[in-house]
Amino acid sequence: MPELPEVETVRRGLAPVMEGARFDKVVAHRGDLRWPLPKDFAQRVEGTTVTGVGRRAKYLLVDLSSGDVLLMHLGMSGSFRVAQDGQASTPGAFHYARSDFGAHDHVVFRMSSGATVAFNDPRRFGCMKLFPREMLDAEPLLRALGPEPLGNAFDAAMLAQACHGKRTNLKAALLDQRVVAGLGNIYVCEALNRSLLSPKRMASTLATRSGTPQPRTETLVDAIRAVLNSAIEAGGSSLRDHRQTSGELGYFQHHFRVYDREGKPCPTRGCKGTIKRIVQSGRSTFFCAVCQK
């Protein structure tokens, strides 16, 4: 599911009900997520207080008073739902608009704030992991991540350097979390269309021979920032699984220019092209071959 804007939307939904609250009860209905939950998972979380809910790339990082960090990833189909006391809040009794209430609620947190937080993930590509805060920099899942695209470290010079000499296409390079961390299939397609760059172009063409940025690299950086900010503002994109923690839909999918719009006219001003779908490294790419060069 979720790329950076969706994960950030989830973070903003979880923070107000989790920060400062204690885990009164943790129930793992099934622990066989991407990696098995440790046997003592519930025990290690219960009784601790949340001191912060952060995000790094597509990972949620919950700081616990025990000194542990609870890392959570939504995979392709993960979502969180929050219910307050008085609403449907019994573990396993969540009601979804899709009518599959309770199904795939793998981990349920009962908070002292009166909120129940359920992690739902049909495909179970998501994961949860606990490690001591001081191991953060050594955490293998986070170690190799590139800069946050909305942070100061991400700029044309850095992107050019990261793509310098890369023997792959631009689409694959931007999906590579070591280059920049948080983009996924949707927002890469969208950013490339906005910056009029072809996904098939060699990634190394963002840099000069000496590794400094080409002029269009700056445009791409700006487009990535702009599309992510707009999507966050819209509460993310809701295709199948993603909802805000309140159950509300995000609505950025109505602003897609190319993603899942094969055969539709290219929205670029003055462009008469048609959106094409191709497959790159096993994944769909949507783009306009007329204006994206």
Look up 140 and say whether it is catalytic: no
Catalytic residue list contains 39: no
CB-based burial of residue 215 (10 Å sphere; 0-12 exposed, 13-18 middle, 19+ buried)? exposed
> Would you list the DSSP string of 236-288?
---SSS---TTSPPP-GGGG-SSTT-TTSBP-STT---BEEEEEETTEEEEEE
236 touches DNA (CB under 7 A): yes
198 lies in the site for DNA, by CB under 7 A: no
Active-site entry in 5, 11, 55, 58: 58
Per CB under 7 A, does 238 bind DNA?
yes
Q: Is 283 a catalytic residue?
A: yes
- Asked if 2 touches DNA (CB under 7 A), the answer is yes
- Cβ at position 222, least distance to DNA in Å: 21
Which of 11, 55, 81, 104 binds DNA (CB under 7 A)? It is 104
Distance CA 276, CA 145 (A): 30
Q: What Cα–Cα distance (Å) separates residue 85 from each residue in 89, 133, 182?
A: 6, 31, 33
Minimal distance, residue 171 CB to DNA, in Å = 9
Smallest distance from DNA to CB 30, Å: 10
Select the residue interacting with DNA from 166, 194, 257, 261 (CB under 7 A). 166
- Taking the CA atoms of the chain, what radius of gyration do you get in angstroms? 20
When asked if residue 124 is in the footprint of DNA (CB under 7 A), the reply is yes
Which residue type sits at 147? P
Q: Residue 125 contacts by C-beta under 8 Å, 6 or more apart in sequence?
A: 33, 34, 75, 76, 77, 78
Q: Is 126 exposed, middle or buried (0-12, 13-18, 19+ CB in 10 A)?
A: buried
DSSP code at position 169: B
Chain CA centroid to CA 192, Å: 18
44 a catalytic residue: no
Among residues 27, 88, 150, 239, the one that binds DNA under rule CB under 7 A: 239
Instruction: CB nearer to DNA: give 111 or 159.
Output: 159
Residue 103 engages DNA in binding (rule: CB under 7 A): yes
> Which of 169/195 has CB closer to DNA?
169
Burial of 24 (0-12, 13-18, 19+ CB in 10 A): middle
Report residue 66 as tokens: 């025990």
List 21, 45, 57, 192, residue binding DNA (CB under 7 A): 57
Q: Which stretch binds DNA (CB under 7 A): 12-20, 61-69, 87-95, 161-169?
A: 161-169
CA angle 270, 273, 279 (to 5 degrees): 140
Task: Output 156 or 179, the one with its CB closest to DNA.
Answer: 179
* Site of interaction with DNA (CB under 7 A): 1-3, 6, 32, 34, 57-58, 73, 75-77, 98, 100, 103-104, 122-125, 141, 166-169, 172, 176-177, 184-186, 236-242, 250, 281-284
The catalytic site residues sit at 2-3, 58, 283
